[in-house]
Amino acid sequence: MTAALEVRNLSVTFGRDRVLRDLSFSVDAGKTLAIIGPNGAGKTVLFRALIGALPYEGEVVWAPGTRIGYVPQKLDIERDLPLTGYDFLGAKAHVTGDAPEEIARVLAAVSLDAEVAARPIGTLSGGQFQRLLVAFALMGRPTVLLFDEPTAGVDQPGEESIYALFRDLQRAHGFSLLLISHELTLVYRYADTVLCLSRSEACIGPPIEVLTTQRLQEMYGTEVKFHDHAHGNAGH
């Protein structure tokens, strides 16, 4: 199995505050890594270091020819920004050198109507905008997708359908998936490997090993209501 990403001894420091300390892990090509942890554990910081938006110490090695699709946690868009979904996707097509037909393909992949894509992006609902961001990430045929809380602000049926969408897209395109999530039930179901970040120590392993009641309690410092599927009861 070839590695899509190798991270060795990654540390990120803001002033005196060391947010990430000597983090090492790898992601195999075509696999899904879920990153969990309490607020302030450095999940988004990790992503921003991986895409080169933050200075860091240590090594971040992407496989040769890696193309990254990134879906950020939230974007602050003015409601009256005169920019339609088509403008936004068209700009990406222009930068990545894709044919304009790609736009229709990615919109179909995320089930977003042409009528919605023609509206200014500031007027879209949370779920519609989220799908547009996923479509944007899919342009340029990425080999790795990074999702920062892809379902924050999306209702529960919407959450399920976004995760199902990731799985279908991953099957169709074979990209590696890194996702930050608080939805432990969905993480359990979809991730191959779980990386848990906390202020004390990081841990990594398959969901069945990492997502135990005891581990979660250590990580979050409080009891976490989570029932894994081995006990047959999904919930969060």
Partner 1 sequence: MPATSTLVLAVLMAVAAGLVGSVAVMRRMTLASDAISHVALPGVGLALILHFNPVLGALAALLVGTLLVWLVERQTRIPTEAIIGVVFSAALAVGSMMASGEELIDALFGGAQALGRVELLLGIVGALLVIAFMLWARSELVIALVSQDLARTSGVKVERVNLIFLLGFALTVALGLRFLGVLLMGSLIIIPAATAKQLARSLGGMQAIAVGIAVGVTLAGAFAAPALHLEAGPVSIVLAAMVFFVSLLLRRPA
Residue 136 contacts partner 1 per CB under 8 A: yes
The span from the CA of 160 to the CA of 139, in Å, is 23
Q: How many CA atoms lie within 13 A of 18 on its CB side?
A: 11
User: Token digits for 142?
Assistant: 């990425």
Residues 51-80, mask of contacts with partner 1 (x by CB under 8 A): xxx--------------xxx-x--x-xxxx
Q: Any residues with CB less than 8 A from the CB of 132 and at least 6 apart, and which?
A: 85, 88, 89, 110, 112, 116, 117, 121, 124
Q: What is the DSSP letter of 15?
A: T
Between 80 and 115, CB nearer to partner 1: 80
Residue in 232, 234, 200, 193 with CA at minimum distance from that of residue 1: 193
Task: Give the footprint of partner 1 on residues 137-156 (CB under 8 A).
Answer: 140, 146
How far lies 121's CA from each of 62, 77, 137, in Å?
Answer: 31, 8, 15
Residues 19-48, mask of contacts with partner 1 (x by CB under 8 A): -----------------------------x
Residue in 159, 181, 176 with CA at minimum distance from that of residue 41: 181
Between 70 and 166, CB nearer to partner 1: 70
Give the total of residues touching partner 1 (CB under 8 A): 34
Between 136 and 188, CB nearer to partner 1: 136
Between 38 and 120, CB nearer to partner 1: 120
- Min. distance of Cβ 71 from partner 1 in angstroms? 9
Whether the CB-CB separation of 95 and 67 falls below 8 Å is answered with: no
The span from the CA of 208 to the CA of 72, in Å, is 27
Between 72 and 158, CB nearer to partner 1: 72
- Min. distance of Cβ 94 from partner 1 in angstroms? 4
Between 52 and 221, CB nearer to partner 1: 52
Residues 105-124, mask of contacts with partner 1 (x by CB under 8 A): --------------xxxxx-
Residue 128 contacts partner 1 per CB under 8 A: no
The span from the CA of 56 to the CA of 206, in Å, is 27
Residue 81 contacts partner 1 per CB under 8 A: yes
How far lies 40's CA from each of 3, 54, 124, 219, 232, in Å?
Answer: 28, 16, 29, 12, 31
- Min. distance of Cβ 103 from partner 1 in angstroms? 13
Which residues are at the interface with partner 1 (CB under 8 A)? 48, 51-53, 68-70, 72, 75, 77-84, 86-88, 90-92, 94-96, 119-123, 136, 140, 146
